[in-house]
């Protein structure tokens, strides 16, 4: 069990979580065995380049660009955000907003030119560890970037709740588009009154959610959401890893799996089991949630409180 009641030292929440939980061993895979190649095998033929004239005459392949969201925008309930402890767009700088600023800077640097695309999975070992809280706040913080589009996907199909947390009216969502090829996934996206933030609901519940996510159609739909739009970041709020199987499948489609760890609550054994389910998929980062800071430690937000922003 994690028995730390306070967090000392410097560094981001990711760095401090890594100091507490040594999870690197769970991510190490077994090396592939060496293969002996007979010396008398015939040489592999090398393909010859096409003639220059033919290459010049070949038409260029069309480039697909993910569609823009065109549905009517819904207003996010700012009062509800504040009452539930979330970041409020365009509000004064706080300790929590600064922590999420540091987190997003780290994530953006890791997403740069990532072959898996701009996809982040926010997950946890068990429920009640703050994954949805962190997913919404991360999306709100990223939406403040000037050159980004954020799509927040409610992928907790058993207990969806992101639209309700934001005061939005949910309709068809990701599971509907996976189950029915006639449903266009871009038509399911909810635009919000924050121009750079959109939400994709979970959709109608299915008994085959894991099987749908494991199908080739999932990758096709995700590419339709992001192809040709490097500025677009997709954030998935998944079910708990040790409670439902879709989270591990979703990790195979993400570049980064942000594993939320609740300070003084998440058992180390559960954390190691959760990390084991993510092995071989996305790059795993730990995010320490519900930290109690020492009075002499790092405390963001107080600097900005000394004067109004210009």
pLDDT at 83 over 60: yes
Does residue 125 fall inside a structural domain?
A: yes
Report CA dihedral (232, 233, 237, 238) to the nearest 10 degrees: 100
| Residue 42 domain flag | no
Residue 276 has pLDDT above 80, yes or no: yes
pTM of the model: 0.78
Helix (H), strand (E) at residue 139: helix 131-143
Strands of 73-74's sheet, edge to edge? 73-74, 190-192, 197-200, 149-154, 232-237, 119-124, 256-262, 283-289
Backbone angles phi, psi at 164, to 5 degrees: -65, -40
The model's pLDDT over 153-175, given as tens digits with 9 standing for 90+, comes to 999 998 999 999 999 999 999 99
At residue 143, the pLDDT reads 95
Query: Does residue 43 sit within a domain?
Result: no
Asked if residue 188 is part of any domain, the answer here is: yes
Is 211 contained in some domain?
Answer: yes
**pLDDT score at 75:** 96
**H or E element, residue 217:** helix 216-226
CA dist., res. 82 & res. 85, Å (int): 5
The HSE-up count of residue 122 (CA atoms within 13 Å, CB side) is 29
297, pLDDT greater than 90:
no
- Mean pLDDT rounded to a whole number for the chain: 80
Residue 55 lies in a domain: no
Domain for residue 50, yes or no?
Answer: no
* DSSP symbols for 266-282: S-HHHHHHHHHHHTTSS
Taking only the tens place, the pLDDT of each residue in 21-68 is: 555 555 554 444 444 444 454 554 555 555 554 444 555 555 778 888
Q: Give burial (CB, 10 Å; 0-12/13-18/19+) of 237.
A: buried
Q: Please give the pLDDT value at position 308.
A: 46
**Average pLDDT rounded to a whole number, residues 273-277:** 88
pLDDT band, very low/low/confident/very high, at 278 (cuts 50, 70, 90): confident
Q: What is the pLDDT of residue 282?
A: 79
Q: How far is CA 266 from the centre of its chain?
A: 20
Q: What is the CA radius of gyration of the chain?
A: 22
Query: What is the enclosing helix (H) or strand (E) of 190?
Result: strand 190-192
Distance CA 229, CA 65 (A): 7
| pLDDT level of residue 81 (50, 70, 90 thresholds) | very high
Q: What is the total count of domains within the chain?
A: 1
Q: What CATH number has the domain bearing residue 180?
A: 3.40.50.300
For residue 269, pLDDT beyond 80: yes
The region of weakest confidence among 43-52, 246-255, 278-287 is: 43-52
Instruction: Write the pLDDT tens digit of every residue in 203-249.
Output: 998 889 899 999 999 999 999 998 888 899 999 999 999 988 888 89
The C-alpha angle 75, 79, 80, rounded to 5 degrees, equals 85
Domain that includes residue 95, residue range = 13-22+69-292+299-306
Neighbours of 240 (CB within 10 A): 21
Q: Does 41 map to a domain?
A: no
Q: Is the pLDDT of residue 182 over 80?
A: yes
Model pLDDT for residues 85-131, shown as the tens digit of each residue: 999 888 888 888 999 999 999 999 998 888 888 999 999 989 888 99
- Residue 151 is predicted with a pLDDT of 97
Distance CA 250, CA 214 (A): 8
């Amino acid at each position: 069990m994690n028995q730390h009641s306070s967090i000392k030292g410097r560094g981001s929440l990711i760095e401090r979580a890594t100091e507490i939980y040594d999870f690197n061993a769970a991510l190490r895979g077994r090396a592939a065995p060496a293969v002996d190649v007979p010396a008398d095998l015939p040489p592999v033929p090398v393909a010859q380049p096409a003639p220059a004239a033919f290459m010049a005459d070949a038409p260029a392949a069309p480039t697909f660009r993910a569609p823009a969201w065109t549905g009517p925008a819904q207003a996010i309930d700012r009062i509800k955000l504040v009452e539930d402890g979330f970041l409020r767009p365009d509000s004064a700088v706080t300790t929590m907003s600064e922590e999420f600023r540091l987190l997003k800077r780290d994530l953006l640097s890791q997403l740069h030119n990532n072959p898996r695309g701009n996809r982040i999975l926010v997950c946890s070992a068990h429920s009640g560890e703050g994954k949805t809280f962190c997913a919404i706040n991360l999306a709100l913080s990223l939406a403040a970037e000037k050159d980004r589009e954020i799509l927040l996907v409610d992928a907790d199909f058993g207990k969806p709740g992101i639209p309700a947390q934001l005061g939005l009216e949910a309709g068809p969502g990701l599971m509907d588009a996976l189950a029915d090829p006639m449903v266009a996934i871009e038509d399911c996206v909810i635009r919000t009154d924050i121009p750079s933030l959109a939400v994709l609901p979970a959709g109608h519940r299915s008994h085959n959610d894991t099987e749908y996510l494991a199908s080739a159609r999932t990758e096709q739909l995700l590419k339709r959401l992001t192809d040709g739009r490097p500025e677009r970041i997709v954030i998935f709020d998944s079910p708990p890893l040790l409670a439902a199987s879709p989270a591990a499948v979703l990790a195979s489609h993400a570049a980064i799996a942000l594993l939320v760890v609740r300070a003084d609550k998440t058992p180390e054994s559960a954390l190691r089991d959760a990390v084991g389910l993510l092995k071989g998929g996305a790059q795993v980062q730990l995010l320490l949630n519900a930290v109690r800071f020492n009075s002499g430690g790092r405390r963001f937000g107080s600097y900005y409180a000394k004067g109004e922003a210009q």
